[in-house]
A and B are shown apart, each in its own frame.
Chain A
Amino acid sequence: MGYGRSDSYRVATTQDKDKSPKKKKGGKDMDELKKEVPITEHKMSIEEVCRKFQTDCVQGLTNAKAAEYLIRDGPNALTPPPTTPEWVKFCRQLFGGFSVLLWTGAILCFLAYAIQAATEDDPAGDNLYLGIVLTAVVVITGCFSYFQEAKSSKIMESFKNMVPQQALVIREGEKVQINAEEVVGGDLVEVKGGDRIPADIRVVSAHGCKVDNSSLTGESEPQSRSPDNTHDNPLETRNVAFFSTNCVEGTARGIVICTGDRTVMGRIATLTSGLETGKTPIAKEIEHFIHIITGVAVFLGVTFFILAIVLGYSWLEAVIFLIGIIVANVPEGLLATVTVCLTLTAKRMAKKNCLVKNLEAVETLGSTSTICSDKTGTLTQNRMTVAHMWFDNQIHEADTTEDQSGASFDKSSVTWLSLARVAGLCNRAQFKAGQDALPILKRDVAGDASESALLKCIELCCGSVRANRDRNKKVAEIPFNSTNKYQLSIHETEDTNDNRYLLVMKGAPERILDCCSTIMVQGKEQPMDEELKESFQNAYMELGGLGERVLGFCHTMLAEDQYPKGFAFDTDDVNFQTDQLCFIGLMSMIDPPRAAVPDAVGKCRSAGIKVIMVTGDHPITAKAIAKGVGIISEGNETVEDIAARLNIPVSQVNPRDAKACVIHGTDLKDLSQDQMDDILRNHTEIVFARTSPQQKLIIVEGCQRLGAIVAVTGDGVNDSPALKKADIGVAMGISGSDVSKQAADMILLDDNFASIVTGVEEGRLIFDNLKKSIAYTLTSNIPEITPFLLFICANIPLPLGTITILCIDLGTDMVPAISLAYETAESDIMKRQPRNPFRDKLVNERLISIAYGQIGMIQAVAGFFAYFVILAENGFLPSRLVGIRLNWDDRSVNDLEDSYGQQWTYEQRKIVEFTCHTAFFVSIVVVQWADVIICKTRRNSVFQQGMRNKILIFGLFEETALAAFLSYCPGMDVALRMYPLKPSWWFCAFPYSFLIFVYDEVRKLLLRRNPGGWVERETYY
């Protein structure tokens, strides 16, 4: 968790920025592996690759060679990230954060007891008991939080896919099905649609092979694979298929070039597990809190140590006092309170689909100032959908909402019917069987994304496509390929009297337009003139500019005399007309944003959170989606937009004028750290497109360098380094890959970006409420310490004992403190800026001043009042008490006289003393009533906030019941030395309780009346 280490890491990233994702750390073997050159096989010819691996691209490896390679390279599996053993996790809970304070207290207690035991004949057991209780508290709370976290990690386990993978390899010319783990470099592998790719392979032959790289890149759009090298970058080239991605359709053969941890996927996973992350914001806050508390404790301890020496106590006694005072400052119940509060919030968040893996991460979202979000699947629905159509010389908008609640367009036009017919017929996608009960949008489709989008769109608008296809039997077909850029099919018509054939075609719009001589407008064919062509161009440009994928459609009825019934259409050597067709229209598709996202982004913005989009997709699409969801808000322009509007070159635009910017991954690579900082600082709306996993990491680090607390959302393996590095990584529960879930701190069970907003809200609320809880708990520290101080200085009988202190801290104070976690927000927490981690602390001097200096003091006075009343009623007036201590605590003095001359034995005196302890305890309970009510709010009046918090009222009842029980239960005088109180003694503290309430209401009134005034500056915590 050291910062030094993350710094050394940072240097490393800048160094190998241009190389493949690499990371040091881990064993020496790991370092060795990572020094190996990145993939170059895609640039080699197949023969070269075969030579390199001593394999044969027909026969495959020999079994002997394969066995040899397997021994050399190890199994083809990812090394699981080093899991922390359970006992280490447990110890982390036992000794982490807040527990340190309690452990120190416990050790000091034992130390003090040891000193007492060594020096006194009959040592008081108080220190020993306190030490034991402190230890018990830490251990119990440790166990509690350990089991809490174990529970959420159990949910994690369930995500793991335990099915063993199989791979079809060719060895010695024979196809064998082997375990994917046994695949070695040089193996000839065959994959077909539906298979998972067993290793990184260099494709040697392919038939319509398409792979889904979503687990690697997050983009689910299938990409075709062929033996030719199309790009220098191994990640972009067509002839490499990657480990753990899926083959969607077609078949391919390839030679394995990397296995296990050396694969691209393996590198990212290793990079991720090698990253060290910093402390969570709440952990830092708790550390700061411990510093303050320790400061106060040591200050008090040392002051009274000196005072004790001056007053003539012996050294050892003074040391015991010192330890006693320091330990008395430890808020015993706070650790449990904080843990329970966080757990409650974690539970509440889990109900709202945010699963928190680490308790401390509960608050992190609340402090978040920047969210770096992935696009596909998080902001968008991750399904291609028809968004626009152009026909009848007009752009029509289709309904892209998930529940079909959006507006529809005019479906009455004859042109639309023709368009729908073409889109339905010239389409190879079809619904998988057995899904008739499901709504159309939820059905699974076999086929490519665009065709599925068309299929669903047509099915929704015009009814069963299958029935339509049955009526128009397909006679011939030319499937889409990248050279034609069109797809064509010929059908019989549904009219049995009509013997003509129908030719339908779809493809790249410009390609389709070239084949057409006429265009259909309002159902009538018109010759294509320049005006219509221009209108087509405009529509095409406009839809393309929206980041949509545009397809053109056309058809024609083939003349019966040329193509009579039974004509043999030859699709290889085309023997029919493919020009002079009739253009119908355009349809454009996009992966539309999720419905709830724009709203959520708006909420984030009003909450002062910057939302940055980081995507592997193309800049135009990314920008379009960013505009759609409000990441680039309306009216804000990028540098390019301004340049286009003013018609000047991009270089002449002042970058400061543009609030928004879209940055391409290749540009990002060339940016210096300063330039990067400059961009992140000066642009409020940023989109990063075509980014690599490593660049995501650099972006996150850039934001963190500027002091932001960064949340990252992502689902792909490519996101996992960034997820790990972020202050809070948010993975997707449904679409997310295992690696990303492992790296994340939080999981959105419904994959919905909007759930993040709930997380932010809950996080901010718990931060406020923790402040209140802590303020409440700390206040009672003062009435607990002062009796001991006065005992030392004024030599009065001890007014409050250790046992009673524990009864307050671990008994009566617990439920009210926890109940403050249920408080509702005082104002709209989503309207304020995220807290500044340097200025807005969980516990600051003002909180300490209120708790210790003001309310605590009143409470102490209340306690002492009850103490003096009881002693006075028994005959000891306050004047008699000062300096009485030595005689009072002396067992041999059995005739101590009170103010009236009555004589008291040691036992009798002790009974009065313990009755005083009980009364002091009850008084603290009474003043804590007022305290919990004033702690409900930090600014508002209680009358504005109301008393709707039922748990709090429950807490008030329970603490009073507990106090009464402890005082009146028979046997308590023996067990805890608590004695029954006369009813009148209960009322001693009432005026003080009232005073606390009035005092704080007045303070808050002044605070509200003079915003920014002295009262606010000095007392608003």
Chain B
Amino acid sequence: MQAGTMDLVTLVVFGSWLAPALGSAFGREVFASAENADKDYDSAFEYDYESLRIGGLVFAVVLFVLGIVLIVTKKCSCSSDKPRPKDPDVETAVPIAQ
């Protein structure tokens, strides 16, 4: 279920960027084009950096949160996961002599 949400989120995030990204060929800071008054020629050089920043930040935050969630859930799955391979060791080695 978690993986499902993750996929959805990444899809949305990527989708929201890919559209403007594909739309423009290249471009730099806004003032680079502002100096040339002719808007028709410059439209190709304009790029929506504002939404790119927001999209990027959302992406970063989502990844960060996912990472944290992974660590937190690790504890649960770990307690059922880790003892399995380590059980034989622990049992033979430690508890008998206290």
Could you tell me the distance in whole angstroms from the C-beta of B80 to the nearest C-beta in chain A? 13
A882 within 8 A of B: no
B37 within 8 A of A: no
B21 within 8 A of A: yes
Could you tell me the distance in whole angstroms from the C-beta of B85 to the nearest C-beta in chain A? 7
Q: In the complex the two chains form, is B21's CB within 8 Å of A911's CB?
A: no
Within 8 A of B (CB), among A931-970: 948, 950-951, 953-954, 957-958, 960-962, 964-965, 967-970
Of the listed stretches A356-364, A481-489, A591-599, A797-805, chain B binds A591-599
Q: In the complex the two chains form, is A965's CB within 8 Å of B57's CB?
A: yes
* Complex contacts, B25 vs chain A, CB 8 Å: 873
Within 8 A of B (CB), among A899-921: 908, 911-912
Q: In the complex the two chains form, is B96's CB within 8 Å of A596's CB?
A: yes
B60 within 8 A of A: yes
Instruction: Tell me, in angstroms, the Cα distance from A965 to B63 when the chains sit together.
Output: 10
Instruction: Tell me, in angstroms, the Cα distance from A980 to B29 when the chains sit together.
Output: 11
Instruction: Tell me, in angstroms, the Cα distance from A620 to B47 when the chains sit together.
Output: 89
A353 within 8 A of B: yes
Q: Can you list 10 A-B pairs with a CB-CB distance of less than 8 A?
A: A353-B94, A402-B96, A595-B96, A596-B93, A750-B97, A755-B94, A758-B94, A874-B28, A961-B60, A961-B64
Instruction: Tell me, in angstroms, the Cα distance from A912 to B45 when the chains sit together.
Output: 14
Q: In the complex the two chains form, is B53's CB within 8 Å of A951's CB?
A: no
B34 within 8 A of A: no
Q: In the complex the two chains form, is B56's CB within 8 Å of A980's CB?
A: yes
B87 within 8 A of A: no
Q: In the complex the two chains form, is A911's CB within 8 Å of B28's CB?
A: yes
A656 within 8 A of B: no
Within 8 A of B (CB), among A963-1010: 964-965, 967-970, 980-984
B52 within 8 A of A: yes
User: How many CB-defined contacts (below 8 Å) exist between A and B?
Assistant: 115
Q: In the complex the two chains form, is A908's CB within 8 Å of B29's CB?
A: yes
A775 within 8 A of B: no
Chain B, interface size category, equals 35 or more
Q: In the complex the two chains form, is B93's CB within 8 Å of A757's CB?
A: yes
Q: In the complex the two chains form, is A980's CB within 8 Å of B52's CB?
A: yes
Instruction: Tell me, in angstroms, the Cα distance from A757 to B92 when the chains sit together.
Output: 11
- How many positions in chain A have a CB within 8 Å of any CB in the partner chain? 46
Instruction: Tell me, in angstroms, the Cα distance from A750 to B78 when the chains sit together.
Output: 25
* Complex contacts, B53 vs chain A, CB 8 Å: 968-970, 980
Within 8 A of B (CB), among A837-874: 873-874
Q: In the complex the two chains form, is A964's CB within 8 Å of B97's CB?
A: no
A824 within 8 A of B: yes
Q: In the complex the two chains form, is B92's CB within 8 Å of A596's CB?
A: yes
* Complex contacts, B83 vs chain A, CB 8 Å: none
* Complex contacts, A384 vs chain B, CB 8 Å: none
Interface readout for B1-19 with A: 1 if CB under 8 Å, 0 if not? 0000000000000100110
**Set A752, A824, A960: member contacting B85, Cβ < 8 A:** A824
* Complex contacts, B71 vs chain A, CB 8 Å: 950-951, 954
Instruction: Tell me, in angstroms, the Cα distance from A381 to B74 when the chains sit together.
Output: 39
A residues near B (Cβ < 8 Å) are 352-353, 381, 402-403, 594-596, 599-600, 750-752, 754-755, 757-758, 761, 824, 873-875, 908, 911-912, 948, 950-951, 953-954, 957-958, 960-962, 964-965, 967-970, 980-984
Closest to B16 in A: A983
* Complex contacts, A953 vs chain B, CB 8 Å: 70
* Complex contacts, A970 vs chain B, CB 8 Å: 53
Instruction: Tell me, in angstroms, the Cα distance from A958 to B47 when the chains sit together.
Output: 28
Q: In the complex the two chains form, is B92's CB within 8 Å of A754's CB?
A: yes
Q: In the complex the two chains form, is A954's CB within 8 Å of B70's CB?
A: yes
Could you tell me the distance in whole angstroms from the C-beta of A969 to the nearest C-beta in chain B? 6
Knowing A353-B94, A968-B53 are in contact, say whether A874-B67 is a contact too (CB < 8 A). no
**Set B22, B55, B59, B94: member contacting A752, Cβ < 8 A:** B94
* Complex contacts, B22 vs chain A, CB 8 Å: 984
Instruction: Tell me, in angstroms, the Cα distance from A874 to B74 when the chains sit together.
Output: 45
Within 8 A of A (CB), among B64-89: 64, 66-67, 70-71, 74, 77-78, 81, 85, 89
* Complex contacts, A750 vs chain B, CB 8 Å: 94, 97-98
* Complex contacts, A951 vs chain B, CB 8 Å: 71, 74
Instruction: Tell me, in angstroms, the Cα distance from A438 to B95 when the chains sit together.
Output: 18
* Complex contacts, A984 vs chain B, CB 8 Å: 21-22
* Complex contacts, B78 vs chain A, CB 8 Å: 950
Closest to B71 in A: A954
Closest to A972 in B: B53
Instruction: Tell me, in angstroms, the Cα distance from A621 to B33 when the chains sit together.
Output: 94
**Set B56, B70, B81: member contacting A968, Cβ < 8 A:** B56
Could you tell me the distance in whole angstroms from the C-beta of A131 to the nearest C-beta in chain B? 30
- Which residue, A951, A953, A967, A982, has most C-beta atoms of chain B within 10 A? A982
Q: In the complex the two chains form, is A964's CB within 8 Å of B63's CB?
A: yes
Instruction: Tell me, in angstroms, the Cα distance from A826 to B21 when the chains sit together.
Output: 43
Could you tell me the distance in whole angstroms from the C-beta of A867 to the nearest C-beta in chain B? 15
Instruction: Tell me, in angstroms, the Cα distance from A352 to B91 when the chains sit together.
Output: 12
Q: In the complex the two chains form, is A950's CB within 8 Å of B64's CB?
A: no
Q: In the complex the two chains form, is A908's CB within 8 Å of B63's CB?
A: no
Could you tell me the distance in whole angstroms from the C-beta of B66 to the nearest C-beta in chain A? 6
* Complex contacts, B49 vs chain A, CB 8 Å: 980
**Set B70, B85, B97: member contacting A957, Cβ < 8 A:** B70
Knowing A912-B28, A982-B47 are in contact, say whether A961-B67 is a contact too (CB < 8 A). yes
Q: In the complex the two chains form, is B94's CB within 8 Å of A402's CB?
A: no
* Complex contacts, A954 vs chain B, CB 8 Å: 67, 70-71, 74
Q: In the complex the two chains form, is B26's CB within 8 Å of A873's CB?
A: yes
Q: In the complex the two chains form, is A964's CB within 8 Å of B59's CB?
A: yes
* Complex contacts, B28 vs chain A, CB 8 Å: 874, 908, 911-912
**Set A600, A957, A964: member contacting B66, Cβ < 8 A:** A957
Q: In the complex the two chains form, is A961's CB within 8 Å of B97's CB?
A: no
Q: In the complex the two chains form, is A961's CB within 8 Å of B63's CB?
A: yes
Interface readout for B36-60 with A: 1 if CB under 8 Å, 0 if not? 0000000000010100110111011
Instruction: Tell me, in angstroms, the Cα distance from A17 to B70 when the chains sit together.
Output: 61
Instruction: Tell me, in angstroms, the Cα distance from A752 to B93 when the chains sit together.
Output: 8
Q: In the complex the two chains form, is A957's CB within 8 Å of B96's CB?
A: no
Could you tell me the distance in whole angstroms from the C-beta of A928 to the nearest C-beta in chain B? 15
Could you tell me the distance in whole angstroms from the C-beta of B5 to the nearest C-beta in chain A? 14
* Complex contacts, A962 vs chain B, CB 8 Å: 60
* Complex contacts, A754 vs chain B, CB 8 Å: 92-94, 97
Could you tell me the distance in whole angstroms from the C-beta of A142 to the nearest C-beta in chain B? 27
Closest to A969 in B: B57
- Which residue, B25, B67, B77, B98, has most C-beta atoms of chain A within 10 A? B67
Instruction: Tell me, in angstroms, the Cα distance from A471 to B21 when the chains sit together.
Output: 99
Could you tell me the distance in whole angstroms from the C-beta of B36 to the nearest C-beta in chain A? 11
* Complex contacts, A982 vs chain B, CB 8 Å: 21, 47, 52
Q: In the complex the two chains form, is A752's CB within 8 Å of B97's CB?
A: yes
- Which residue, A381, A957, A970, has most C-beta atoms of chain B within 10 A? A957
Could you tell me the distance in whole angstroms from the C-beta of B87 to the nearest C-beta in chain A? 13
Could you tell me the distance in whole angstroms from the C-beta of B18 to the nearest C-beta in chain A? 6
Q: In the complex the two chains form, is B29's CB within 8 Å of A381's CB?
A: no
* Complex contacts, A980 vs chain B, CB 8 Å: 49, 52-53, 56
Instruction: Tell me, in angstroms, the Cα distance from A752 to B90 when the chains sit together.
Output: 13
* Complex contacts, A948 vs chain B, CB 8 Å: 81
* Complex contacts, A594 vs chain B, CB 8 Å: 96-97
Instruction: Tell me, in angstroms, the Cα distance from A600 to B77 when the chains sit together.
Output: 30
